[in-house]
């Protein structure tokens, strides 16, 4: 059932709107309104045809899409022939065009094509609960396992049959023209495989290029750092300074020491040549790492103190503080006894009571 094109009664008018209009006569129809004067809900069919519907799909469940089930192609199992699918496949697949008469008494024959497997699907037909078809898999009747009980009656009292087939034309080959080279024909499957390999190769080359750029970047950074002189190249950090009375005397001592060391170094590196090496500046900084650690420890103790004070407050409020204090005192005494025992017998293990 269904239609390849939108029926005339459901097509858009010349003004580009649906024939009917939406009305909201009562709350019972307020979920999506009703159509007056013809279909009024514009939508698109499964075959991308613009068409108008008279109802919405399921407005009660918030599905307000136009209901085009009467136009969209779908099987009608009350007027249905499972054999039609296999007949259409056998006759049409692999052909640029195909035509066959729609007659339930006509025997349809086709040549088996391995590429399209144009045979009868015995399992699919038998799963309908009907008998298996005739032995031939390249010859069938339209009446094979058919059900025409609900087909509409024709004007002459006979049966009216309608077969709707949706086909997609596809070419297995593609022709490409190149300047000065002419036209070449490629198989699409082979061309797609070749393009996939080229795509993979480009990705690999791109990743390798990124790696190469990173290596070159690091080399350039090292080279630039070697060609540029910065304060860090001639700055020495000294920790653990010797005892001193004041910073001025310490600075004089350090300047004399490093001046002598630089003079000896220059004499070793450049014998017979004078080289101007001197101390440019000396700065002192206080290492307050220990103070920072102490402040962090103080913060931890402050948080612990606040936590304990909060626990004591609530234990006092609910009358559990005395029992908690007595238990902690008991554990404290046990701990003191253990410490005394260990300190008393640690120096002479032979005096331990269990030896």
Domain match, 149 and 97 both: yes
Nearest-angstrom CA–CA distance, 51 and 38? 12
> Does 110 fall in a domain?
yes
Nearest-angstrom CA–CA distance, 51 and 4? 11
Share of the chain above pLDDT 90, in %: 9
Return the bridge partners of 317, or none: none
Flag whether pLDDT at 354 surpasses 50. Answer: no
Q: How do residues 32-81 score in pLDDT, each as one tens digit?
A: 678 888 888 888 988 888 999 988 888 777 788 888 888 888 777 777 77
User: pLDDT confidence of 210, banded at 50, 70, 90?
Assistant: very high
Domain match, 86 and 114 both: yes
Residue pair 254/281 in contact (Cβ under 8 Å)? The answer is no
Nearest-angstrom CA–CA distance, 4 and 49? 8
Domain match, 103 and 161 both: yes
Torsion sign (Cα): 217, 222, 224, 225: positive
Residue pair 16/10 in contact (Cβ under 8 Å)? The answer is no
Domain match, 296 and 350 both: no
Return the bridge partners of 141, or none: 107
Predicted pLDDT at 311 = 80
| Total-model pTM | 0.38
Domain match, 82 and 164 both: yes
Domain match, 122 and 155 both: yes
Torsion sign (Cα): 334, 338, 341, 344: negative
Residue pair 6/71 in contact (Cβ under 8 Å)? The answer is yes
φ/ψ (deg, to 5) at 22? -85, 135
Which spans in the chain are helix H?
83-92, 122-126, 188-227, 247-269, 289-317, 321-345
Q: What's the average model confidence in pLDDT over 155-163?
A: 55
**Among 141, 170, 199, which residue terminates a domain?**
170
Domain match, 279 and 290 both: no
* CB-CB neighbours of 165 under 10 Å: 13
Token digits of residue 236 = 């020495």
Residue pair 104/94 in contact (Cβ under 8 Å)? The answer is no
Token digits of residue 120 = 């009868």
Sequence-distant contacts of 297-302: CB under 8 A, at least 24 apart: none
* CB-CB neighbours of 285 under 10 Å: 6
**Among 170, 190, 224, which residue terminates a domain?**
170
Token digits of residue 14 = 């010349």
> Does 296 fall in a domain?
yes
Q: How do residues 219-250 score in pLDDT, each as one tens digit?
A: 998 888 888 888 777 888 888 788 888 888 88
User: pLDDT confidence of 112, banded at 50, 70, 90?
Assistant: confident
Burial of 191 (0-12, 13-18, 19+ CB in 10 A): middle
φ/ψ (deg, to 5) at 11? -80, 160
Domain match, 263 and 326 both: no
Give the closest residue to 88 by CA, choosing from 140, 17, 24, 15: 140
Domain match, 137 and 87 both: yes
Torsion sign (Cα): 332, 335, 337, 343: negative
Domain match, 353 and 301 both: no
Instruction: Tell me which residue has tokens 């580009």.
Output: 16
Nearest-angstrom CA–CA distance, 118 and 95? 13
3-state DSSP assignment of residue 242: coil
**Domain count for the chain:** 5
Predicted pLDDT at 134 = 41
> Does 180 fall in a domain?
no
Q: Which of 132-146, 163-177, 310-324 has the lowest mean pLDDT?
A: 132-146
**Among 170, 189, 212, which residue terminates a domain?**
170
User: What mean pLDDT is reported for the chain?
Assistant: 76
**Can you give the length of the chain in residues?**
355
Token digits of residue 207 = 């990743």
Nearest-angstrom CA–CA distance, 88 and 103? 13
Domain that residue 144 falls in: 75-170
């Amino acid at each position: 059932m269904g239609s390849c094109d939108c029926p005339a009664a459901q097509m858009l008018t010349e003004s580009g709107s649906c024939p009917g209009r939406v009305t909201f006569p009562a709350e019972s129809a307020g979920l999506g309104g009703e159509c007056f004067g013809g279909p009024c809900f514009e939508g698109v069919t499964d075959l991308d045809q613009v068409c108008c519907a008279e109802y919405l799909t399921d407005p009660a469940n918030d599905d307000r899409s136009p209901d085009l089930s009467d136009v969209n192609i779908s099987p009608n199992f009350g007027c249905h022939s499972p054999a039609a699918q296999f007949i259409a496949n056998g006759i049409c697949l692999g052909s640029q065009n195909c035509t066959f008469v729609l007659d339930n008494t006509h025997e349809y024959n086709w040549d088996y094509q391995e590429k399209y497997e144009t045979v009868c699907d015995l399992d699919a037909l038998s799963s309908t609960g009907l008998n298996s078809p005739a032995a031939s898999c390249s010859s069938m009747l339209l009446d094979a396992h058919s059900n025409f009980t609900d087909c509409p009656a024709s004007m002459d009292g006979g049966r009216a049959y309608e077969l709707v087939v949706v086909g997609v034309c596809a070419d297995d080959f593609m022709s490409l023209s190149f300047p000065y080279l002419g036209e070449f024909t490629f198989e699409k499957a082979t061309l797609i495989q070749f393009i996939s390999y080229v795509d993979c190769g480009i990705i690999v080359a791109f990743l390798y290029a990124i790696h190469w750029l990173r290596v070159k970047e690091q080399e350039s950074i090292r080279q630039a750092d070697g060609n540029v002189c910065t304060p860090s190249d001639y700055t020495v950090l000294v920790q653990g300074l010797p005892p001193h009375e004041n910073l001025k005397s310490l600075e004089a001592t350090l300047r004399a020491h490093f001046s002598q060391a630089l003079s000896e170094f220059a004499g070793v590196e450049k014998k017979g040549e004078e080289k101007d090496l001197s101390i440019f500046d000396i700065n002192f900084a206080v290492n307050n790492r220990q103070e920072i650690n102490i402040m962090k420890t103080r913060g931890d103790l402050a948080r612990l103190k606040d936590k304990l004070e909060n626990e004591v407050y609530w234990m006092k409020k609910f009358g559990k503080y005395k029992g908690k204090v007595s238990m902690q005192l008991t554990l404290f005494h046990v701990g003191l006894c253990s410490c005394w025992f260990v300190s008393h017998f640690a120096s002479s293990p032979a005096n331990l009571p269990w030896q």
